[in-house]
Structure 1
Amino acid sequence: MSVWCKYLIIAPISLSIVLLVAGCSENKASQCQRLIQVVNEGNSLIDQKKGQQVITSMQLSKDLEAVTRSLKELNLADPKMKELQSRFVKVFENLSQAIAKAARALGAAKAAEASPAGREKLQKARTEIDTALTAAAKTAGKESDVLVNELNKYCSQPE
C-alpha cells in the first residue's frame, strides 16, 4: 500500500474521531439548551393541564414527577448549571406534591355526602386544596421565576 493510500484511509478516520470527541464534549450553550428544554416541558404541562378534575390533577402530578426525573438525569458538567438543575428539581418536586395533595382533597370533596358530616368533609377538603395550591403557587412559582431569570442570564453570557 502506498503512502498516499494510507493517508486516504487515515485522514477520514482521524477526522471522524476528532468530530466525535468534539461532539461529545458539551459546551455551556448545549447544557443550557437541554436544561431549558426540560424546564419548558414541565411549565407547558402545568399550563396545559391545570384544572379542577381529580384525574387530570393526579396525572399532572405524575407528569411533573417524570419531568423531575428527566431533570435529575441531565448529566450537566457546568457547576452553575448543576446548581440551577438541583433547584429546578426541588421546584418541580414541590409542585408535584402540592398538586397530588390537592387532587386527593378534591377526590374527597367529590365523594362527600349531602349531610352535615359530608359538608364538614367538603369544607376540610376545600381548605386543604386552597392551602396546598396557594403554598405551591407562592413558593414554587416565585422560585421558578427567579430560576428562569437566573438561567436566562447565565445562558446568555458568553463562554
Structure 2
Amino acid sequence: MVCSLFRLRRGVWQTSTIAALAFLVVGCSEGKVSQCNQLIGVANQAVTQVQSVTQSANPAPGAPGTSNANNANNIEAMTRIATAADQARTEMEGLQFSDERLTQFQSRFVAMYTEIGNATRALVSSAQASNSQGAQQAFDQLKTATEKEAPLVTEVNQYCANPQ
C-alpha cells in the first residue's frame, strides 16, 4: 500500500512538473499575435509622436510669408520629427521575432525610419543654410521615405490578420 501510494505521488509530481514546464514553454514563447502587436505598437507610437509634433507646428521652414520665429519653430519641429524617427528605429531594432516574415517587416520599418530621420535632418540643415535646392532634395527624399509607410502597414495588417 505504501509503495503504491509513493508511486501515485511520484506520478502526480512528474505530471505536475511536466505540465508546469509545458506551461512555461508555451507562456514564454510568443505567438504570432503577440509579436504582431509588438511590431504594430512601435509603429503606432512613432505615428503618434510625429502627429503630435506636426499638429503643434507651423508651416514648413522657408514657406512664403513665414517669419523668422516661425522658421525657428518649424526647424525645432522637424528636429523633433527626426528624433522621433531615430527613437522608433531604435525601438523597432530592439524587438525580437521568431517569425521570419515579421523580421522582414521589422527590417523594412528600420530602413524607413532611418531614411526619414536622415532626410529630416538634411531638410533642417538646408533650411538653416537657406539652401533651397538642398531643401527640395531633402524634402523629396523625405516624401519618398514616408510613402513607404502605407504599403508596409497594409502588408503588416494583412499578414497579422491571418492567425496562422
TM-score of the superposed pair, with normalisation by structure 1: 0.76
- CA displacement, residues 108-133 of structure 1 (integer Å, 9 cap, x when unaligned): 3xxxxxxxxxxxxx3x2x33223212
**1:107 and 1:9, CA in 2 relative to 1: closer, same or farther beyond 3 A?**
farther
Residue 140 (structure 1) aligns with: 145
TM-score of the superposed pair, with normalisation by structure 2: 0.74
- CA displacement, residues 65-120 of structure 1 (integer Å, 9 cap, x when unaligned): 12101111111111111111111111110001111111222333xxxxxxxxxxxx
Residue 157 (structure 1) aligns with: 162
Q: Among the aligned pairs, what percent are the same residue? A: 23
Structure 1 distance, partners of 2:41, 2:15, is 37
Pick the structure with more helix per residue. Answer: 1
- Which amino acid in structure 1 is aligned with residue 157 of structure 2? N
Match of 2:27 among 23, 27, 31: 23
Unaligned stretches of 5+ residues in structure 1: 109-121
- Which amino acid in structure 2 is aligned with residue 146 of structure 1? P
> Paired residues, what number?
143
- Does structure 1 residue 99 correspond to structure 2 residue 120? yes
Structure 1 distance, partners of 2:81, 2:147, is 20
Structure 1 distance, partners of 2:142, 2:77, is 17
Match of 2:96 among 46, 53, 75: 75
Match of 2:41 among 37, 40, 47: 37
Residue 81 (structure 2) aligns with: 60
- Which amino acid in structure 2 is aligned with residue 130 of structure 1? Q
- Does structure 1 residue 46 correspond to structure 2 residue 67? no
Q: Is the 8 A contact 2:50 2:84 kept in 1?
A: no
Residue 114 (structure 1) aligns with: none
User: By how many angstroms is 1:141 displaced?
Assistant: 2.3
- Which amino acid in structure 1 is aligned with residue 22 of structure 2? V
User: By how many angstroms is 1:12 displaced?
Assistant: 6.0
